[in-house]
Copies of this chain bind each other. A is one copy, B any other.
Amino acid sequence: MSPRTIGVTEVALRDAHQSLMATRMALEDMVDACADIDQAGFWSVECWGGATYDACIRFLNEDPWQRLRTFRELMPNSRLQMLLRGQNLLGYRHYEDTVVERFVEKSAENGMDVFRVFDALNDPRNMAHAMAAVKKVGKHAQGTICYTISPLHTTEGYIALAGQLLDMGAESLALKDMAALLQPQPAYDIVRGIKETYGEDTQVNVHCHSTTGVTLVSLMKAIEAGADVVDTAISSMSLGPGHNPTESLVAMLEGTEYTTDLDMERLLRVRDHFAAVRPKYAEFESATLVDTNIFSSQIPGGMLSNMESQLRAQGAGDRIREVMAEVPLVKADAGHPPLVTPSSQIVGTQAVFNVLMGRYKVLTGEFADLMLGYYGECLGERNPEVVEIAKAQTKKEPITQRPADLLQPEWDHLVEEASKLDGFDGSDTDVLTYAMFPSVAPGFLANRDEGPKNVGKTPEQLQAEASSSSDAGRAVQGPITYKVSLGGRENTVTVERA
């Protein structure tokens, strides 16, 4: 029997640098790898969405739409894939449906093929319209299950959610494990359950981070259970808070009943390209190689460091254990949301508030909104007492409808506001940039003409750093002012490198 071919989504151009180096990689550091990526045989190339849009305009002075068009041009044979936060698009609030449609249309027009649509609370209503919009433009709508662990989250529940996504017309399903929590057995059980319930032809893609060191095994088990496509990153852009290495996946399957169609020669060239690029962004990398705390605390690493820095800012750095004990209570009161952006920040900050000020003495605005349904529904019931506190504090009523149903048509207003900005070029894509990042867009549009700014180090800077471990390199660059006592007389001398 010939082995079954497993599709692979390469994430080096999006999630890998988002996870490893705060989404800072400039397009110019990617273009030379595109031809090899395009020809390597991937099922898709994730290269847009997530935090890249924000980072492009906030840090890199890059037009994200130009980035997308460039990828389209350089990778004509590939399915381009993006991560889309459902009704939030790539921003941080819910958008009215017309805006969602416009965004999807423009993304498709500019070259996007596969839209991985997710919602942090796994609320299907927050994904439905985006998925419908994707289908309307004839592109691939992938419905997403965010994986988490809680007393309410069960294999059966995930299988049921898969059914809802398929009912909405999902062409494929993504099992998305942002926190590297997906252990091998549940990976197997969920994929197998989906296949047995909805048919072996149901396409299942599996996305794991590698933070806990165990998820390549989870991919193996998912494949044994029938997974069709898995996500990996080329080895030089892998591991730590990122993903499992693409070449390791290829090696993992050699000799088994499964194979990939990847071209190892091209993979190694892609690897060598990013091996040279990665050091440029070293200052954005975390030191985390493997983080096993989450197995006991079930608190993702990023959330923990966030809470620690909040506590330190309040001079209460020693109370982290209390906060860690508070998190599961707050999470339960909120109905067990998955702890991912933004719910991880919302729950974590409330846990810090509870410890510092007394339980629910003060709610953050976001936590109150979460308790009142303004982010959507979770699997669990929200604690009615805390809902009452939220009502009292905010003077808002809880809602049960889809949050976006509260919104008035807003496209015309967004066009009007965007039109007032310096540098606005009249395009719908500029309106979308303004819509999603109203505080960042004005500066970006005004300065767009200056062109991309690469925040990575240059080869010369890297060279200088390397040599700074030598005596010559340690010379003061200055200027630094010294008090110099010379012949008994004190002078002020300023030194800088000649």
Instruction: Report which A residues bind B (CB closer than 8 A).
Output: 183-186, 212-214, 216-217, 220, 235, 238-240, 244-245, 247-252, 254-256, 264-265, 268, 271, 289-293, 295-296, 468, 471-472, 474-478, 480-487, 491-498
**A interface, over-half SS:** mixed
Complex CA–CA separation, A497 to B487 (angstroms) = 18
**A494: nearest chain-B partner, CB-CB:** B485
Complex CA–CA separation, A264 to B298 (angstroms) = 14
List, in ascending order, chain B residues with CB within 8 A of A255's CB: 183-186
Is the CB–CB distance between B220 and A290 below 8 Å?
A: no
Is the CB–CB distance between B493 and A484 below 8 Å?
A: yes
List, in ascending order, chain B residues with CB within 8 A of A249's CB: 214
What are 13 A-B pairs with beta-carbon distances under 8 A?
A184-B220, A184-B252, A184-B256, A213-B216, A213-B235, A213-B239, A239-B239, A247-B292, A468-B474, A475-B476, A476-B476, A483-B498, A485-B493
**A189: nearest chain-B partner, CB-CB:** B255
Is the CB–CB distance between B289 and A239 below 8 Å?
A: yes
Is the CB–CB distance between A495 and B474 below 8 Å?
A: no
A476 and B474 in contact, given A238-B213, A296-B264, A482-B495 (Cβ under 8 angstroms)? yes
**A232: nearest chain-B partner, CB-CB:** B213
Complex CA–CA separation, A185 to B265 (angstroms) = 23
**A295: nearest chain-B partner, CB-CB:** B251
Q: How far is the CB of A101 from chain B (nearest CB, A)?
A: 41
Is the CB–CB distance between A495 and B484 below 8 Å?
A: yes
Q: How far is the CB of A224 from chain B (nearest CB, A)?
A: 10
A213 and B244 in contact, given A185-B256, A254-B183 (Cβ under 8 angstroms)? yes
Is the CB–CB distance between A475 and B480 below 8 Å?
A: yes
List, in ascending order, chain B residues with CB within 8 A of A487's CB: 491-492
List, in ascending order, chain B residues with CB within 8 A of A271's CB: 292
Given A240-B289, A247-B292, 18 more pairs with CB closer than 8 A: A213-B216, A213-B238, A213-B247, A214-B248, A217-B217, A239-B289, A239-B290, A245-B292, A248-B290, A248-B292, A251-B292, A264-B295, A268-B293, A268-B296, A468-B474, A471-B477, A476-B476, A485-B493
Is the CB–CB distance between B476 and A471 below 8 Å?
A: yes
Is the CB–CB distance between A217 and B252 below 8 Å?
A: yes
List, in ascending order, chain B residues with CB within 8 A of A491's CB: 486-487
**A477: nearest chain-B partner, CB-CB:** B471
Complex CA–CA separation, A480 to B474 (angstroms) = 11
A245 and B213 in contact, given A220-B184, A238-B290, A476-B471 (Cβ under 8 angstroms)? yes
